[in-house]
Amino acid sequence: MLKRILILRPEGIAPAVTLAARIAEAVKQSGVEVGVEGVWGKVPPDLLSSAELIICVGGDGTVLRAARLAVPRSVPILGVNMGRLGFLTSLNRDAFFAQVDRILAREWEVEERLMVAATVTEGEAMGQTFIGLNDIVLSRRSPGRPVYVELAVDDERVALYRCDGMIVATPTGSTGYSLSAGGPILAPVERHLVVTPVSAHLAIGRSLVLEPSSTVTLSVRSDEGAILTVDGQEDLSLSGGASVSLMASEHAACFALLDQPSSFFGHLAERLEVQLSSAMNNGD
């Protein structure tokens, strides 16, 4: 039986705030200690360190933020969506309340997902480190201007790219920005990183799938610098000449699965169909 649960939800979204409160009340009735916090606020360290399960209320963005907060303890995460199908939010509200007893009784398995770690190795931001569940992106600073990025893998130079950016994605992130840029889809339990250039000109325009032990180095060769973005949520400005080293993190994101996961590719097809239908209905 679980003793302590942390509920994270986005701030300012009334349905998410209401649902988080309902979940907290249901959990408290079973004698479990509950903390409820805004995912973008300053979450008290003691809540993170003592939680045995993190329940994320919202969409995939909430889960991405929670996964970074859970490092290095790798607290299992259970995502509860608000009605919109997501890759990282496995339950809707009705399914959660129908299975709350199983959740509190730990009747779930843990699935580990690879995370990507980045360290700025040269430049003004040298020494800063980041970790992401989906991807870490090096992109141009100014619209309409490309960025020059030199790519090396395991200290071997691969190419100098004139591009809009470079994506280093995990298997989880391979269905996101990397996919839209032409990258391959990897099953979420794989251990490989994918490097995908965005709108590369006169260079290797295809993605590279790396060995699990490989290290990627991205060096900014544009005088105006570039922007480093983690999971589409955190940005760092890099000066010209800066370098970033990226590799598979020693920390994993852990997800609580109540049942054996359905076919990943079947779920992928379902989500893409929903997104296409939504775009058509909106006239896009």
Q: Same CATH fold, 115-250 and 4-108+258-281? A: no
Q: Which of 60, 135, 164, 231 is catalytic?
A: 60
* Site of tokens 């990183």: 193
Give me the phi and psi of 62, to 5 degrees please: -65, -40
**pLDDT at residue 82, rounded to an integer:** 84
Domain covering 4-108+258-281, topology? Rossmann fold (3.40.50)
Question: Who's near 281: CB < 8 A, 6+ residues apart?
Answer: none
According to the model, what pLDDT value does residue 85 have? 65
Number of C-beta neighbours around residue 144 at 10 A: 5
Nearest to 219 by CA among 170, 166, 174, 181: 166
**What is the structure's pLDDT at 16?**
95
Domain definitions of the chain by residue range = 4-108+258-281, 115-250
The tens place of each residue's pLDDT in the chain, 284 residues long, gives 999 999 999 998 999 999 999 999 999 999 999 999 999 999 999 999 999 999 999 999 999 999 999 998 889 999 999 867 678 887 999 999 999 999 999 999 999 999 999 999 988 889 999 999 999 999 999 888 999 999 999 999 999 999 999 999 999 999 999 999 999 999 999 999 999 999 998 767 899 999 999 999 999 999 999 999 999 999 999 999 999 999 999 999 999 998 765 567 766 766 666 555 555 566 54
Q: What is the model's pLDDT at position 281? A: 62
Q: Are 101 and 227 in contact (CB under 8 A)?
A: no
Question: In 3-state terms, what secondary structure has residue 91?
Answer: strand
What SS3 class is residue 111?
strand
Q: In the prediction, which pLDDT does 44 show?
A: 92
On the 0-12 / 13-18 / 19+ scale of CB atoms within 10 A, 33 is middle
Instruction: Based on the residue annotation, tell me whether 231 is a catalytic residue of this protein.
Output: no
CATH of region 115-250, choose from 2.60.40.10, 3.40.220.10, 3.40.50.920, 2.60.200.30:
2.60.200.30
